[in-house]
Chains A and B, each alone.
Chain A
Amino acid sequence: MPHRILAVLAALFALTVSTPAYAQGFFSDVYDYWSSGDMGEDMFNAVGLTGEDVVFAVDNPDKVWEAVKEDVSSGAAGERILNTVGLTPEDVAYAIDNPGEVADAVYQDWASGDMGERMLGTVGLTGQDLAYLIDNPGDFGQGMLDEITSGRAGERLGQFGVGLYEGGKEVVTETIYMAADGAASIYIVTAYDDYQGMFDAYQPNSMLVQAYKNSDDPGETTRQLISSFAQLPGEFRDAMWNDPQKAGHIVGSFAVPLATPKALSLANKTIAKTPGLRVLATDVRQLTPCALGKCPVFKDLTAVVESAPKPVKVTPKTPKTSKKPPPVDGPDPVMVDQVGKPSGTFTQRATEVPYKRPPEVATINPSKPFKLSKLDKKTDYLWVVDENGNVLIAPEHQALSGYAPHRPTPGVVKHGDLTPGPGGKTRGIARAGGELKWNPETNQWTLNNASSYSFNRHDRVMGNVENLKAVRQLLEDSGVEAGAIQLKNVIKPQG
């Protein structure tokens, strides 16, 4: 799927082009994607459904609807959604009572560039991709230079940006309302002219759920979805050349949903581990909590399972197709080994005992994806790779949460806190460690190996740049933007 997503971003660049040759390739790509059925499968997989589930749903609409109804009426769905995105019911109530403030927060998020950065990460663009696009302008038509120098491209991009903001904002706002309403199943499709009308005449659930609710024809839902997507390429193509703002609106509407398939996948996998619990279709967006200053990155998603009340059970019956669910990916063992062997460290400080996990720490692996845009550029972070190959990242100072007040520098987090030893008496075992800091000069995050887990190890092995490359690869395997991190080896060679 990443190359499809990349194609969406490439379309942004195509806005600056007067000839549509590249765009035709793009739409051909999208059409093939849709017509092959891959798009539909990816959509369902993103929300934790398999082909078997869909077949069952089509064949058993009554059972599915009963399950949806129970999920909604019990409040379980709403609570699950709120937990997933890191919001409390109080947050939602506040957002509903203060829509202007929330809209301002979303605007600031957009205007600051943070939203754009997340979106760039969402579509999987790498530094290499950008370099290629810049080095190969011929791919985008002969008119590109003229468009740029004349200012037309800038104007069109500006219009596109406005639409992008509008589309993203609508998704965020509707998600807040839907989550507040306890919607069990959310599909947000905003690429239609009458979307604003639909939004104004707000209904508790999305089009998909409405179809389930209101139609006697169980095939209506599928038809509605297919019809929606079938219209999209044509609408988008026309808008690209005639109405950049609308094109931006369409991209904005979909960029937000694209931001979270991995997070959703993780949530669904976690929930799926609970016997009898089945999420039919959940689609919660990353931008909502981030706009409210509560990015969900540090939420432990196991809490979703623990807080989920009565589970809803839907058992597939006589499936007509079989599609294996995607495997639960763990860290690449080869890469984990390249990070370093598990080792303790000679650095132990009596005044730091007990070593313990700080309240804010992200555990990152392929099934717990991560985006650098969730980090605060004004904050310094510590990282370690634990024995199992998870990358743990935490802010270095957490005094505000009352963490470790007894230490010489109250609230300071040490690498050993991320991997504490038995009883917290010592810094424990890790494969490597270092710092992650924003470099304003390069506009990149810098990953160094300034940690006792890299240069004061029990096994006397010294860290090197190859270890750092492996750490960066582990992060990239977990969804971190490729090429977004520069490496800095602070360890001098042995001699």
Chain B
Amino acid sequence: MLPSNPDELSALLDARQADGWDFDALLSLGVRSSRDRDAAVIDWLKAAPSTERLDMACGLLWGLWSAGPPPEERAAAFLDASDGVPLDTQTAYDLAVTLAKLLGGRLTEPIRARIAARMAAVTAARADDPMLDSLLQSLEDAM
């Protein structure tokens, strides 16, 4: 379970990043934890944005949000934290899935528009990345 104390949570994720981590394990950790830990996870990403951290954060947030999409302010915070993070094939897919999950919540039109714009930017890279194209195709088939 993710600790409730933001500092402890941040330290735990720092340790995972340093020692090696498994996406499924992070996802499972998120599933087992209280959804309100998402704020601390997003803060941890925002503190030192990177491709690897975005990958890890997506795994945790998918799990945390498995019980339902987050409130709009959390969606906005994630958009802010992930903005400008360099994307590779994996994080582009992760981000696309996360954005799709956010769209399942109650959102105002400006936030929806931001998500749509980010989604368009992410998926634009698929033309030059067959692996990403394959992954996004599986996502589209599921939507």
Contact = CB atoms under 8 A, between A and B. Distances in A.
Interface in B118-142: 131, 134-135, 138-139, 141-142
B89 A492 contact: no
Given A409-B22, A426-B135, A456-B62, A450 B31 contact: yes
A247 to B, nearest CB: 49
Which of B66, B134, B135, B139 has the most CB atoms of chain A within a 10 A radius of its CB? Answer: B66
A492 to B, nearest CB: 5
B132 to A, nearest CB: 8
Contact of A347 (B27, B34, B68, B131): B27
B138 A492 contact: no
Contacts of B90: 349-351
A346 B62 contact: yes
Contacts of A350: 89-90, 93, 131, 135
B97 interface: yes
A473 B63 CA distance: 27
Contacts of A414: 24
A344 B142 contact: yes
B51 interface: no
Contact of A491 (B31, B97, B104): B31
Interface string A461-495: 01000000000000000000000000000111111
B135 A348 contact: yes
A205 interface: no
A445 to B, nearest CB: 18
Interface string B61-80: 01100111000000000000
A347 B134 contact: no
A426 B132 CA distance: 11
A495 B68 contact: yes
Nearest to B30: A455
A421 interface: yes
B16 interface: no
B32 interface: yes
A245 interface: no
B135 A494 contact: no
Nearest to A352: B23
A494 B67 contact: yes
A493 B135 contact: no
A41 to B, nearest CB: 49
Q: Contact size class for B? A: 20 to 34
Contact of B138 (A348, A408, A462, A491): A348
B10 interface: no
Interface of A is mostly: loop
Contacts of A451: 24
A3 interface: no
B28 interface: yes
B84 interface: no
A346 B139 contact: yes
B20 interface: yes
Given A350-B90, A452-B27, A491 B66 contact: yes
Contacts of A491: 31, 66
Contacts of A374: none
B138 A344 contact: yes
Given A353-B131, A426-B134, A450-B31, A347 B67 contact: no
A455 B32 CA distance: 11
A462 to B, nearest CB: 7
Contact of A494 (B34, B68, B93): B68
A491 B27 CA distance: 11
Nearest to B28: A450
A458 B141 CA distance: 9
Contacts of A452: 24, 27
B97 to A, nearest CB: 5
B22 A490 contact: no
B89 A408 contact: no
B136 to A, nearest CB: 10
B48 to A, nearest CB: 21
Contact of A346 (B22, B34, B142): B142
Contact of B67 (A349, A421, A425, A492): A492
A450 B29 CA distance: 9
A492 B141 CA distance: 27
B142 A458 contact: yes
B129 to A, nearest CB: 10
Contacts of B63: 455-456
A408 B56 CA distance: 14
A456 B66 contact: yes
B138 A455 contact: no
Contact of B27 (A421, A456, A492): A456
Contacts of A351: 90
Contact of B28 (A349, A353, A425, A490): A490
A347 B62 CA distance: 9
Which of B23, B24, B104 has the most CB atoms of chain A within a 10 A radius of its CB? Answer: B24
Pairs A-B, 3 closest by C-beta atoms = A458-B142, A450-B28, A350-B90
Interface of B: 20, 22-24, 27-28, 31-32, 34-35, 62-63, 66-68, 89-90, 93, 97, 104, 131, 134-135, 138-139, 141-142
Given A455-B31, A456-B66, 10 more contacts: A344-B142, A346-B62, A347-B27, A348-B93, A349-B23, A412-B22, A426-B138, A450-B28, A456-B62, A490-B28
8 contacts: A347-B24, A348-B138, A350-B93, A421-B138, A426-B134, A426-B135, A492-B66, A493-B67
